[in-house]
Amino acid sequence: MVHKFREVFSLSLKYYFQTLYITLGFGLVLIALLNTLADINFSLYFGNLTYSFLTSLSLMYIIPTIVLAALINAIFVTLLIFVTRKHLLQEHKKVYVLEFIKKHATYVFLFNLGLYFLLFIVYLIFVDTVVAFLIPIISTILLILSFYTIQSIVVDEKKVTSAITYGLHFLKNNIGKTIFIMLVLVLVYLVIALISFYFLSYGFIVSLILYTIFFYPFSEILKTCVYLTKFNIFNSYL
């Protein structure tokens, strides 16, 4: 399994660099938006986002920013997965790219938006209670359960509800691979955190750039390559 994963990891790196032009194009816009949302996301996940914080920033400012970031991110990740799928499955059929991206990026957008607001509801339910420590635990569980949903939307060309089911099915049958991926991604994330810590006062900007330009797109390509192992044609690469 380690040997096969090494091959998957190498392929993921290869296609990350081959799609770097996509990452750089969308990444610059996402960095600007994520810079606004980073503190909100962090606070939401760990349950220390206060009502006064929401009031001071104004929901009229936060919500459009979240929606815009989710929309741009949906187009970005759909395009990444589509290009990776097309190359690795050696697809030669004529695909209307713009129509495909428009359709499936819409599903990815709706899924991401739904997941984000589900996390927000979890926060509202448990914040300022004796069980507030459950917020990061439940958030992590939700993120794990939806680990392959976006891949299923683009690779299997499914709608959101079907993609959630397909993603869960793949997750259940590939627990070992998934745990291995998560450990690798956590390790990479920790390396980014250490690099950011080294830059001290510029650490936040450095971490944001490394996360947006490398960690996030690479993790989605890696998840896509693992998801594609269910196809026999992909296994010919390994």
pLDDT band at 95 (very low <50, low <70, confident <90, very high): low
pLDDT at 168: 95
What are the residues whose beta carbons fall under 8 Å from the beta carbon of 74, sequence distance 6 or more?
A: 105, 106, 108, 109, 112
The whole-model pTM stands at 0.83
Average of per-residue pLDDT across 167-195: 90
Q: How many domains does the chain have?
A: 1
Residue 84 has pLDDT above 80, yes or no: yes
Q: CA 45, 118, 216 angle in degrees (round to 5)? A: 55
Q: What is the pLDDT of residues 30-57, one digit of tens each?
A: 666 665 555 444 444 444 444 444 555 5
Q: Please return the burial class of 118, using the count of CB atoms within 10 Å of its CB with bins 0-12, 13-18 and 19+.
A: middle
Residue type, 79: L
Cα–Cα nearest to 216, from 169, 150, 165: 150
Cα distances from 155 to residues 79, 85, 92, 97, 216, in angstroms, run: 11, 7, 15, 14, 18
- Mean pLDDT lowest among 88-97, 103-112, 136-145: 88-97
pLDDT at 225 over 60: yes
Q: Which tokens is 8 given?
A: 């998957």
Q: Is the pLDDT of residue 151 over 90?
A: yes
Q: Which domain holds residue 115?
A: 2-235
Average pLDDT, stretch 180-192? 89
